[in-house]
Chain A
Amino acid sequence: MNLSTGLKALTRREILRFVRRPYNTFLPPLITNVLYFSVFGVILGARISDIGGVPYIQFILPGLAVLGAVSNAFENASFSIFHGRWNEYIHEALTSPMAYWEMVVAYVVSSALRGVLIGILIAVIGALFTPVRTLAHPFYAVAFLGVITTLFAAFGVIGGLVAEDFDHLTVLNQFILRPLVFFGGVFYSLDALDGLARTASYLNPMVYMVNGVRYGIIGVSDIEPDTALVVLSALTVVVLAIDVWLFQRGYGLTD
């Protein structure tokens, strides 16, 4: 038995699942973000003063890329696992000799890849509306995008295992993930907040993700990127370990 063949097969299956459905995978974020950039960037953005020395439309570009990237990473992992459980075809992998960690890696890597692709797609759309053509700090842009999509894919694995109904997936995405993203500084700088609101914002992990990617793309950030990258990487490792532990225990998977 070749260990890596199983991992490769499941990863490819997961990637093909979303790549072969472009109207479901790529078209919605494309249309949504054209609308975001048109309304918030062009129409409203013209009436909003520069933030951190950059025009508003440039300021929101990294945040929108993060919003699309983490949402897709989370949704892909949670939906794929939950749907597989719902229809029981996840048994095809579960009854195979693959190690539990290999299954987790396959789901996370494929979902993170989807998040990265959507993040890049949004950044490219944004570039059509703004003069951004180069990355201010390429290492940080790539590292933050990689880490946060992996983190949310890993969270998505937990969501997919915990959910008992499609309703639960909606709750996780719409009522937990999305508010965190919107209050994570996608559309505003923390300088716009004061007092409790500003302090509370520092407890929102999304603030560090948005600002990390923003620093990588346009060189502007409300936080210190190195510390944020280390903390987010550590958090990702912890969540991945939880994923593997849940698979080993058969949580949501076995009787």
Chain B
Amino acid sequence: MPPAIRTDDLVKEYGDVRALNGLSLSVPEGSFFGLLGPNGAGKTTFINTLVGLARKTSGTAEVFGHDVEDDYREARDAIGLAPQEYNVDRFFPIREVLMHKAGYHGVSDEEAAERAAEALETVGLGGKAETRFDWLSGGMKRRFMLARAMVTDPDLLILDEPTAGVDVELRHDLWEVIRGLNDDGTTILLTTHYIEEAERLCDEVAIIDSGQKVTVATPDDLTERGTDEVTLTLDAAPAATPTIDDDRVDRVTVDGSTLTLRASSGSEVVPVAVRQLEAAGHRVLDVDVARTSLEDVFVDITRTGGDATDGSSGDHEDSETQEVAP
């Protein structure tokens, strides 16, 4: 079974600007895949290349094994897209916009009407069916974008910043809908600036920067690569900074009776540190581990160029042993 998305050495140039610079990526069928990267990293260009809104300069891009240019009809039929920018037909009520979109994908009138009603109900816009897009509130507009992407019953749902600018409650509502679709087998490709969103939803995350893949990993793996902060409270202030003999420990600082370690895999370092401290005559009263967040890792990776450990080409390959700690 081919992956939902497979790109190999994908390049897209706009004049002198290389928006995608040899991007190779594979998104497994049925996965919830996050695409993270700073502004201008190439996320939207990548998506546009898949759906036919941008023509690749070189390389290959396939959706469920269908080349996005040679077999564009099959590839596009599999995709539902909720773009970041609103690009909705303002001439018609939203129910009809959904019917038209379903029709373009070969859905009969009768079924299109049913699907439109169902999609609007799913996103909580059932009562707004005869309203035009312009008259919806900001949150409703976001919900509608999701409904439009869903109405063609796609195998691959591409969501480009689907919760940008919406309040927390609505964000959670949208998450619930998207997660439900993924549970039913739809592959999700999500780009987001909300790291929490990627952490909560995604099975796997790719970080891209300057049109290149920096890394691909599960959110847990990525956070493991970050540096945790372990705070140990001692019964008395040590005379000198104690030494913790463990490769995972990056730095030790003392402030009175509080000892702070910066270490990867902080939870695993704790018993080692406690044992060594007690062996040195200290008594540990309290321990607290502040786990690094995916956001911290993301910031570190995109700032330092990251580690291209998964075969991406280009500059990033040079930094194979990426230093995620400050």
Q: Which residues of A contact B (CB under 8 A)?
A: 1-3, 5-6, 8-10, 12-13, 16-17, 20, 84, 87-89, 91-99, 250, 254-255
Contacts and interface: CB of A to CB of B under 8 A. Distances in A.
Closest 6 CB pairs of A and B: A9-B103, A96-B104, A88-B87, A97-B77, A1-B106, A97-B73
25 contacts: A2-B108, A6-B105, A9-B100, A9-B102, A9-B103, A13-B100, A13-B103, A16-B92, A89-B87, A89-B88, A91-B53, A91-B87, A93-B104, A94-B52, A95-B51, A95-B76, A96-B101, A97-B76, A97-B104, A97-B106, A98-B73, A250-B52, A255-B14, A255-B45, A255-B54
B55 A255 contact: yes
A13 B83 CA distance: 22
A193 B277 CA distance: 109
Counting chain A CB atoms within 10 Å of each CB, the highest count among B51, B97, B103 belongs to B103
Nearest to B158: A95
Contacts of A16: 92
Counting chain B CB atoms within 10 Å of each CB, the highest count among A13, A87, A254 belongs to A13
Contacts, number: 93
B51 A3 contact: no
Counting chain B CB atoms within 10 Å of each CB, the highest count among A17, A84, A98 belongs to A98
Contact of A98 (B14, B51, B104): B104
Contacts of A87: 87, 90
Contacts of B106: 1-3, 5-6, 97
Interface string B80-115: 010101011111100001011111111110001000
Interface residues of B, number: 37
B53 A94 contact: yes
B79 interface: yes
B55 A254 contact: yes
B9 interface: no
A254 B53 contact: yes
A10 B104 contact: yes
B215 to A, nearest CB: 27
A95 B100 contact: no
B52 to A, nearest CB: 6
A93 B76 CA distance: 10
B130 to A, nearest CB: 13
Given A13-B100, A92-B100, A96-B105, 8 more contacts: A6-B103, A9-B99, A17-B92, A87-B87, A91-B83, A92-B148, A97-B106, A254-B54
A4 to B, nearest CB: 9
B77 A5 contact: no
B89 A92 contact: yes
A9 B87 contact: no
A5 B103 contact: yes
B52 A254 contact: yes
Counting chain B CB atoms within 10 Å of each CB, the highest count among A1, A89, A93, A97 belongs to A97
A89 B48 CA distance: 14
Counting chain B CB atoms within 10 Å of each CB, the highest count among A12, A87, A88, A91 belongs to A91
Counting chain B CB atoms within 10 Å of each CB, the highest count among A1, A5, A8, A254 belongs to A5
A95 B53 contact: yes
Nearest to B111: A5
